Chains A and B, each alone.
Chain A
Amino acid sequence: MFDDFFIRALVAGLGVAFVTGPLGCFVVWRRLSYFGDTLAHSALLGVTIAYSFELNIAISVFLISSVIALILIQLQRKTNLPGDALLGLLAHSSLAVGLVVIGFLTFIRFDIMGLLFGDILAVTVNDLIIIWVGGALILLVLKLIWKPLFASTVNYELAEAEGLNPDRAKAIFTILMAAIIAISIKMVGLLLITGMLIIPAAMARNISDTPKKMVLFSIIGGLLSVIIGLFSSLEFNTASGPSIITASLILFILSLLKIKQSIHLKN
């Protein structure tokens, strides 16, 4: 069954969508979209290191993204530069360094486009195992830290005062972000991963009135985006990442209609 590249891509994409759904909600709630972008950009460096030392791409990306996240936390403590400037600094310098290193790796044929925008042909059975096992682990950890993470998202001081240890939850969440980028880079590509996190969650916000519903709709939105995106990618011979993101954009636009309706009802 997994002999067919399309089935592999589909199974991989659905696995990714299950994880980006809930994580994406936190990215939207905690205003972390640029943070996600920064981690994703640094993933290029992770990929080049994986090629240089013949490591597994997912593991290498995970390690580099975690290191970048740690550097960011250190920079935030040591300088007075605003957060967005630090994020931009890290995102673009790690992207640039990654591209420079690729320039040196002349002995390897690189599919840059696949790296940036995703390549469904590239998904192997090994990748499937990484996505589903890694994804299940991410979801399990997220479930364990849900209460402190969610409480501190609503109000940090409340969570801290009532003994939930929000700093630890935040640190673990950062690692989960690095992990989801690592396992989804082949599917969506590093330029579009943040879209996969944010757009289904934003769509879900438009049609939800409780946090749990928002997580649920975010997952459903992601799954639908993957299915619609991959089928059209096959049909029109487009890159998988942009096709998935375009599908999620269409779902988002549809969800706006629902908002309009409810505003209309209120008046």
Chain B
Amino acid sequence: MSSSKMGSNNNTLVKLKNAGYQQNSKWLVKGVSLEVEKGKIVTLIGPNGSGKSTTAKIALGIYKKIEGEVEKYTNKVGYVPQKVSIDWTLPLRVNDFMVLTENLKDDAIDQALSLTGVVHLKNKNLGNLSGGEFQRVLLARAISKKPDLLVLDEPVQGVDFTGEIALYELIKKISEELNCGILLISHDLHTVMSATDHVVCLNGHVCCSGSPSDVAKNNEYKALFGEQASQTLSIYEHKHDHVHSHEGEIKKN
């Protein structure tokens, strides 16, 4: 959590070294190493219960009694949790929610809400929003503080199909404009891969990791998601061959 250490370059925002977390003597995830850099998008994929959210919480420092190491080089973090429920006893408008962790000027609030297309809901009660609208507000809140590191846990769940694509494009745009690093969790292989620089495929441990095309070719990935998913990825890669190539370091467990 301190400033630069040996072994990481200046662009590193958060780095997990062989990190793991156990709850009630059961490992939720183990042996995860990954690194999020400025301007890069790292995506975690994997089946339900594979430890994606746990990994994100380790990176965020929410889980403290962990195995391994986390090095965090920034405190400007924006987080979209997988699940947020607002109790009825809390009268909370979108506007109040936007300034939850940081005091923002009115135009900064409006700007963020416009980006995710929900500025018209500014004075609405959070409890009255639909699932997709709430998700857009969550994303707006996370980006409004112009963070160095964005952690997005299934940020487009419940958003309609066209909105989903638009939001993924927005996420990509934000990472470029703010030059912030993004740790993204998603189920949606199609859309995610378009923006991703690095994919980490989890199933309680790191099955494989690398660039989207590398991961798609990996046998463990195929075993986990099936041949179909592999083709999906390849097709995707094929369609958008302008995606930047990276040296994908494949780790075998």
Contacts and interface: CB of A to CB of B under 8 A. Distances in A.
Contacts of A161: 57, 60-62, 77, 79, 81, 151
A155 B101 CA distance: 11
Given A158-B79, A162-B101, A163-B77, A208 B91 contact: yes
A97 B81 CA distance: 45
A168 interface: no
Given A157-B81, A162-B78, A210 B60 contact: no
A28 B60 contact: no
B91 A210 contact: yes
B10 interface: no
Interface in A97-154: 147, 150-151, 153-154
Interface string A187-226: 0000000000000000001001111111000000000000
Contacts of B61: 160-161
Of A154, A157, A161, A163, most buried by chain B (CB within 10 Å of CB) is A161
A209 B125 contact: yes
B89 A29 contact: yes
A136 B13 CA distance: 42
B101 A147 contact: yes
A107 B61 CA distance: 56
A147 B102 CA distance: 8
A19 interface: no
B6 interface: no
A211 B101 CA distance: 15
Contact of B60 (A29, A160, A211): A160
Contacts of B93: 209-210
B232 interface: no
Interface string B78-103: 11010010110111110011001110
B125 to A, nearest CB: 6
Contacts of A154: 84, 86, 90, 92, 97, 100
A44 interface: no
Nearest to A213: B91
B101 A151 contact: yes
A205 B62 contact: no
Interface residues of A, number: 24
* B contacts with A: majority SS: loop
B22 interface: no
Of B57, B75, B81, B101, most buried by chain A (CB within 10 Å of CB) is B101
Nearest to A163: B75
A209 B92 CA distance: 7
A219 to B, nearest CB: 15
Nearest to A167: B64
Nearest to A160: B62
Nearest to B78: A162
A157 B100 contact: no
A164 interface: yes
Interface string B201-221: 000000000000000000000
Contacts of B84: 154-155, 158
Interface of A: 28-29, 147, 150-151, 153-155, 157-164, 205, 208-214
Given A157-B62, A211-B96, 15 more contacts: A29-B89, A153-B90, A154-B84, A154-B86, A154-B92, A154-B97, A160-B60, A161-B60, A161-B61, A161-B62, A162-B78, A162-B145, A205-B91, A209-B91, A211-B91
